[in-house]
Structure 1
C-alpha cells in the first residue's frame, strides 16, 4: 500500500483505458511527476513546468492526516482541474463500506463486495474500472457522507478515510493493472464538480485534509476517525448538558408567553439549555418565508428577546436562539437585494423559496454581525442553533469556476462561525442543516453540538442515532425526544432511550404531561446523566440491527458502548421483532436499568459493571 498524489493540469493529456469522463486520474500530469524527496512528514514531487507538489502526512498513534499542496514556481499560470487530498494504491480488499444519507434518514450503512461493484481488472488489464461517488453543493452530507472504508475479510484488515470538506467532494475506487485497488478523493473536480483553479506564478494552493485509519474492524477504524476530530467545544458544554428545543412544541410560532410557560415547567428538571427555534422574527408571514429579516416580532415578544432570555436564565437555564443566517426567504426585504446575493451565470440562485447571501461580501458580513452576533450579545444568549435548509447547487459566480466560487463562499461561511466564537468566546454553537446535511468533520469542528437529523418523532430515530456513531462524536450528536400528552409509557421509554445514543434534546407538549409521565422522563434524565461519561468517552463495540426500511423498521437493534470496565447497552425493538438476546450481561452486573423491551416498539437500556 502506497500513498501518492493525483492531479490534472488543463494542458495535459487525459488517461486512456476508456476512463475519460469518468475520472481525471492517471493523466499525464500525474505520470510526469518526479519524486524528489520523501520523509515521514512529506513526499515532494516536481514536474517539468517547475510545479512543486507536496503530500503532507501527519501521523498520530491511530490515524494519518494528509493533504496536498501545489506550488507554482514556473513562469505561467497553472490551471488545476483536479488535485487529490489523498491517494492510496495497492490496497487489497473485497468489501466496500459507505454511508448513505438522505433527509431524515442519515447514515445508512451500505456494504458491497468488489464483485457487486464490478471492480475486477479487465482480462488484459486494458480497461479502467471506476466507482466514483460524492456530493455537489453546500450540503456535503447528501446521498453519501464523505467517508469510505475498504475491508480485506481474509485478513480482517480495514482502511477507512474521512474527508474534511464542507462543499462539493468526490471519492473514487479504481482498479486496472492488478487485483489491488486505488482510492483517491478530495474536492469535486472539473468533470464532477465544475471546479478548476488558476494558480499564478509564486502562488500556491492546499487541499482540504483527509484523515485515514487502519484497524481490525469497522468499529475500530470508525472510532479512530471520530476520535481524530477536534471540535471546539464550549467550556460550558463539556458536561453533556441536556437541552430543550421548543420547535416541536410551537412548530415555528414561539412567543414570550409560551416560552414562559415552558420555562416554568422545566425549572429544576435538570435541563441546561432552552432554545428558541424558528419564528421569533418577521411580521407573521411564517418562519420559512421571513428568513433573512432578523427583526424581532414584537407581537410575539413584547419587550424584545432579552426579556424572554432573562426569564429563561431566571429559571436556571441558558437561553438559545435559532438563525438561518446564510439564507434569505421569499418574503424578506432582502429578497431582491441582488448585489449581495449569490449568482450563477449572472442570475440570482433561487432554490424554492430560498436565496443565498454571498458570505464573502463585507457588506453581508457586517449586516450579519449586527443581526446575529449583536443580538446574541445584547440579549445575553449563551447558545446559537445555526440552521441551513437548502443547497447552493453545483456552484456560483465569483471565481474562475463555479466549483471554486462555491468552495470560497462555503469557506467564508465557516469563517463567520469562527467570528461568532471570537466575539462570544463561551457560546455553544449547534451545527444544523435540515438536521444532518452538514455532519462532516470540518463543520463539526466548528461546533459544540449538531442536530443528528430532522427525524423529530419517527420510529427510525434510534437507527439514525446509532448510525452517527460511525462518523461524529456521540457527545456532539443531539437527538430529539419529543414528548406528547398521549404518549404511553412504552413510547416515552422508546424516545428517551434513543437519546442515550448521543445528547438528549427534549421537546413537545411538556406542560400537558401527567405526573407519572414526568416521573418516567426524570428517571430517564437521571439515567442519562449517569451514563454521560460512557456516551462522551467510550468506544462503540457493537451496532447490531437488521433494519432495511426506515419508514417501517422491522427487527431489533442493539448498541453497546464501553468505557473501561463499564458498559452502556441500548436495545430497541421495531415491528415483527424478536426478544433481545441478553448475552451481553455475562460477566457484568447491572448498575442501573431503564425501560422494558418486552414487545414491538419498546426499548430498554442498561448500565453495566464488569465483574472482574
Structure 2
C-alpha cells in the first residue's frame, strides 16, 4: 500500500482523503482540527507467528472506501449475514477525479460499467454527504447495498491493534425516546481477533415507516484516548441502518438505507439511470455534545422559512388531554375564553372531530374526513372564525396517510388505492390500512379532503399524526424495501405540496409521539410532538435527552393542567414545557382563579424565555433516570444564549 493524503480545511475542521496509489481505493476521515494522524506509525502487516511461519502474513489494514455498495452478481464479502460491506463491488472502484467547488468536494469513483459520485459539502455546522450511483452500462444493475456515508479507518489516531473505541447510540421506544447508550468495541464483541478471517459488524437501525423504533438514525464513535468524537445522521423517513464494522485493525462507521439483508431492500438501476442514497450528515468534535450540536444545526436553515408566526415560538394549546377524543364547538370556545390574553396563539382540535366510532379515542372510522355535525353543527369554518375573533389560530388533527375500520374508504371497493404486500392489503393493529401515495387518484382524493379542507375552513395549523407502521415494505417496487422507500418519498412529496400551496400553514409532525423525529420530517415541519408521555413525571427526563437529537424550538412538550392537581404538580408540569415548545392541555376551563393565574404567569414567563429556547445551547448535568416509571437520581438542564440562561 502506497498511502497518499489530501486535506481540505473548513472553518469547522478538516476533510482528509486517503488514497492507496496501488489500488485506487479512497476513503474519508473527518478531523476537528489539523492535528496529525498516526497512519505512518501503524503496523503494516499482522505479524501473526502462525501465518508468518507459512509465508501468509496478511496486511493489518487497508485504506477502506468512501462508499460501500454491493451489486447483485458480484462476490459478497466474507461477512454475508452480518454485513454486505467489503465485497467485490467495493474493490472494483477506483478514484477517477476529485474537485472542489465552493464548499463542496466532488469525488468520482469509477468501475467497469458504472460509477459513484460522492459530494461532501460543508454546511457551516457539519458536513453534508450526498451519494449517487450511476449505471453507465447497457444492462440493468441491482443494488443490494448503497451507503449514504462511510467514515473508514477509525481511529486515525490509533496505532495499536487493540482499540478502545466506543459506539454512542440513542434508543427509541414509545414514550421512552432518546436514551443514550455507550458501548466499547469489547462490549460489542468487535475487538481484534488473532487474525482477520471474517468482517464483523454491529448493524442496527429501523424497519418500516416509523423510522424511530428501537434507535434514532444518529450515532457517534468516540476515541477516548484522542478525545475525538465522530457523529453521523441519516435522513431516514423509512427503513435505515448504520454499521460499526471491522475487517482489519481499523473500524468503519457507515449508514444509509436498510440493505437487502437487514431491510429487504434491492434497487434495480436501469441503463443511464442514477440512484441517490438518502442524504447524510457527519461531524467531528471533542465531545458528544459538540457533534450533536453540529448535527442539529441542519434544522436551523429550514426553520427560517417557516411561517412568520413561528419565529416568536408562541405557546400551543391542544385539547387532546382535555376531551380525549370528544372535542366540540362549545368546548373549544369555552377554552378560548379562559386563554384570552395569554401568549397562546394556536388552539388545536385533535382526534375526534370527524364521524368516528364511539369510544375509539378518535381513531375508528377515519379516512372519510367528514366533520361531526353533532359536535360542530356550524361546521369547522364556524369554529375557526369564532376562534379567530378571539385572537387565535385554529389547528386541526389529521392522520391522512391511513384509513381505519369504520370509514367508507376502508371498504374493499377502495382496496386498489391502498398499499399491498404479497398481493394483500396491508392491515395493522385494530384495523388500519395505508393509502398508496404513488397513485394519482390517492393524491387527488387527499388534495380535496386535506388541502382544500384546510383552505376552505380557514385552518392555520395542521397536526399530522401517524399511528402505525407499514412494516418491512410493500408491493410496487424492485423489492419490499424499495416499495416502502417509494411510498415514503411520495408521502414527503405531499408534505411539500401542503407547504407550497399553503405557505402560512404551521405543520406539526406526530407519529404516536416521537416515531418520526428524523431529518425528513423535522426539516419540513415547524414542530414535532416529542413523545406520547402526556401526564408523566418522566417528561423532563425524556425532553432533556432529546436536546441532543433535535432543536428545542421544534420539540412540542405536553403540560397537562387539571383542577385536581396540587400547585407543586402544576409547577412541575409547566416547568417541563420550558425544555421545548410549551403545549398546554387539560381542563383549563375548569381551573379556579388562582390556578388559572399560575398558568398565565408560566405562559408569560415562557414568552420572555423564548429567545434562549430558540437559539441557545444546552448542557445536561447528571444522568437523569433510566427507570422512567420510578424516577431516581438527579438532572439539571442549563441552556445558554449569550448573556441569557435558562435552567
Query: TM-score if structure 2 supplies the norm length?
Result: 0.86
Contact 1:120 1:129 in 2 (8 A): no
In structure 2, how many angstroms separate the alpha carbons of the residues matched to 1:187 and 1:154? Answer: 32
Determine whether 1:114 maps to 2:185: yes
Which of 576, 582, 588 aligns to 1:498? It is 576
* Pairwise CA distance, 1:541: 2.6
Partner SS state of residue 635, structure 2: strand
Determine whether 1:215 maps to 2:275: no
Contact 1:219 1:542 in 2 (8 A): no
Which of 52, 72, 77 aligns to 2:140? It is 77
Determine whether 1:21 maps to 2:81: yes
Over residues 249-297 of structure 1, what are the superposed CA-to-partner deviations in whole Å (9 max), with x where a residue is unaligned?
0001111111111111111122110000001011544421111120011
Which residue does 1:184 correspond to in 2?
254
Determine whether 1:351 maps to 2:428: yes
Partner SS state of residue 334, structure 1: helix
Determine whether 1:253 maps to 2:326: yes
Which residue does 1:584 correspond to in 2?
none
In structure 2, how many angstroms separate the alpha carbons of the residues matched to 1:177 and 1:435? Answer: 41
Contact 1:460 1:553 in 2 (8 A): yes
Determine whether 1:160 maps to 2:231: yes
Which residue does 1:138 correspond to in 2?
209
Contact 2:307 2:506 in 1 (8 A): yes
In structure 2, how many angstroms separate the alpha carbons of the residues matched to 1:176 and 1:22? Answer: 12
Contact 1:481 1:496 in 2 (8 A): yes
* Pairwise CA distance, 1:125: 2.2
- Bigger mean CA offset, 55-64 vs 132-141: 55-64
Which residue does 1:66 correspond to in 2?
129
Over residues 356-380 of structure 1, what are the superposed CA-to-partner deviations in whole Å (9 max), with x where a residue is unaligned?
0001111111111111111110111
Q: Pairwise mapping of residues 299-378 of structure 1 onto structure 2 (< 5 A)?
A: 299-335=374-410, 336=412, 337-352=414-429, 353-378=431-456
Alignment gaps of 5+ in structure 1: 570-612
* Pairwise CA distance, 1:69: 0.6
Which residue does 1:43 correspond to in 2?
107
Partner SS state of residue 408, structure 2: coil
* Pairwise CA distance, 1:499: 0.8
Alignment gaps of 5+ in structure 2: 1-15, 17-26, 29-65, 156-163
In structure 2, how many angstroms separate the alpha carbons of the residues matched to 1:124 and 1:557? Answer: 45
Q: Pairwise mapping of residues 170-319 of structure 1 onto structure 2 (< 5 A)?
A: 170-178=241-249, 180-229=250-299, 230-232=301-303, 233-285=306-358, 286=360, 287-319=362-394
Relative to structure 1, the CA distance from residue 60 to residue 425 in structure 2 (aligned partners, 3 Å threshold; closer, same or farther) is closer
Which residue does 2:119 correspond to in 1?
56
Relative to structure 1, the CA distance from residue 174 to residue 259 in structure 2 (aligned partners, 3 Å threshold; closer, same or farther) is same
* Pairwise CA distance, 1:227: 1.2
Relative to structure 1, the CA distance from residue 293 to residue 118 in structure 2 (aligned partners, 3 Å threshold; closer, same or farther) is same
* Pairwise CA distance, 1:544: 2.6
Partner SS state of residue 351, structure 2: coil
Contact 1:121 1:127 in 2 (8 A): no
Partner SS state of residue 259, structure 1: helix
In structure 2, how many angstroms separate the alpha carbons of the residues matched to 1:440 and 1:135? Answer: 12
Which residue does 2:94 correspond to in 1?
34
Relative to structure 1, the CA distance from residue 265 to residue 423 in structure 2 (aligned partners, 3 Å threshold; closer, same or farther) is same
Over residues 205-229 of structure 1, what are the superposed CA-to-partner deviations in whole Å (9 max), with x where a residue is unaligned?
1111111011111111111110122
Determine whether 1:9 maps to 2:84: no
Q: What is the number of equivalent residue pairs in this alignment? A: 565
In structure 2, how many angstroms separate the alpha carbons of the residues matched to 1:199 and 1:528? Answer: 52
Which residue does 1:420 correspond to in 2?
498
Contact 2:130 2:280 in 1 (8 A): yes
